[in-house]
Structure 1
Amino acid sequence: AGVRDDEESLVSPEIIALGDSQAMGWGVHKEDRFTEFLERATGKKVLNVAVSSWGPARELLMLKRLDLSNVKTIIFQHASNDAYESEAYLQNTELFHKTRNEKEWSTRSQFDDEKSQYFFGKNVYLLITQLWRLYNDGFHQLKISEKEGEHFLQILKMLKPQTSNDIHYIIFSVNVKRTFHSKFIERLNKAYEHPEFQKEFPHFDTLNITEELNQDQYRFVIDNHLTRKGHEFVASKILPILKN
C-alpha cells in the first residue's frame, strides 16, 4: 500500500490511523509510534497509513485502497496546516482525483532534478532562506479559516468509508509549529453540534491535547515532530476511549 507498516496489518485491521508525518512516526522507530503502543495495549490489529504532508482529503481517499471489512475505529491525526488542503479540496474536488499524464510527470521530474543540482553558494542560499522563514514565523501566524472544523466534517461526510460497520472516529490535532496555537479541536467540537453531523457520525470523539503536545519532552527540537514520549502520550489519551 506504500505506507510505513507491515503487510500483516493490511489484512482486516480493526483500527486505522490517518495523518501526516507526525502519525507516520518521523524520527522514531516504527515500534515507538502511538499506533504500535495501542496495538500492544489492546491486542487489536492497528494499521497506520499516515503519509508525510498529506491532509484529510488525501488521507480519506487512501481508504479506498484498503481492506475495511473489519474496521471499527478510525483515528485522525490532524495538523494545524491541514486547513489549506481542506479548502482546496472543497473548492475543486476534481483536482484530487486527477491522474497526471506522461508530459506532466516529465515536467515535474525535470523540475525536481534541477532543484537537486548543486550550484556555487547553494548551501548558503538555503541557510539564509531557512533563517528568513524562521524570522517571519515569529511575526506571522498561519491564516486559518474559522470554518476549518466544519470543512473537516464536510470532507469526512463526502469521503467517509462505505462499510456496513458503524465507524468510531477519534480526532486529535498537532501544531506544525509550537508557537502557533491551533483552535481546530474547539472549532471541530462546535461544528459537530450541528444535528447533520451528529446523525452522520454518531460515534465521534475528540482529544483536546494540542497544547499539551507542545511540551519539549514530546517534540524534537529540530523539526517539531513527536518524540517517542510524544507518541506514548497520545496513545495514553486514546486508550481509555477505545476501552470504553
Structure 2
Amino acid sequence: MSELTINTTQNVTINFTAASIGHRILAFGIDLLIMMAYLTSVFLFLSYSGLEYKIQLMDTWSQIAIRSIIFLPVMFYSLIFETFFEGQSLGKKVVRIKVVKIEGYQASFGDYLIRWLFRLVDIVITSGILGFIFIIVSKKYQRLGDMAAGTSVITLRNDVNISSTILEEISYDYKPTYPLVIKLSDNDIRIIKDKFIKAKARRDEELVLKLVSKIEEVTGIKNQSPNNWSFISTVLKDYNYYTQSM
C-alpha cells in the first residue's frame, strides 16, 4: 500500500493510504462471487419451479425481456451498492476499502455513475487489464473511471480507531446549532478535526478559514458563531450529537 497525498482546492494537504491492487482485486473477486451466487440461485429456482420451461415457451422478445430483468441487479451491482453504502460495494466492505473524491470528501451519485460507465472499458471489454495498468502507473492509483470521476480508492485498515478520532465530548443537555452537519460523512469530520487540531497548534488562521469555507460549501451552513474557531468546534460537536442520536 502507498501513501496518497491530496492537495485540495483550498490548498489543504490530506494523506490517505491508497488501496493496494491486491485488495482491489480481492474486493472485485468477492463481488463477482456474490453476483454469481445470485444468478445461480435465480436460475436454480426457475429450473426447479418449472418457470424456466414456461419462459422457453414464450416468444423471443418476451424471453429477452425476462432474462434482462434477471440480469439487472448484476449490471447495476456496483453502482447501487457504492451509492447507498457511500463508496463501498459488499466486496469493498469486507476488504475495508472505499471510493472517495480526490479532494478527500464523499463522492456523489454522479461520480459513482461515471466510474460504473467506465467499467465497460476498464474491466469488461479488456478483462480488467486496462484498469490494472492504469492503477499501477497513475500517481493517484486510479483506473480510467476514477480519473474521469475525480475519485480514488483508499483503505480504511488504518482507521480502526476512527470513531475515537471523530468523537467530541458533549454534555447530555447539549443543544446543536447546525442540523445540516449531517451532510458530512465520518471521513469528512475526521479530516476537519485533524486539520483543526493542527491549525490550533500553529494558530493558523488561514487554514481555519479554508476549513470554514469548505464546510459552508459542502453543507450549505452559514457561520453564525462569533469566530471561525468556535464555528468549527460547534460543527464537530453538532455532528457527534446528531450521529450519536441516530
Structure 1 length-normalised TM = 0.21
Larger Rg: 2
The structure where helix makes up a greater share of residues is 2
Normalising by structure 2, what TM-score?
Answer: 0.21
Which of 1 and 2 has higher RCO (CA within 8 Å, sep 6+)? 1
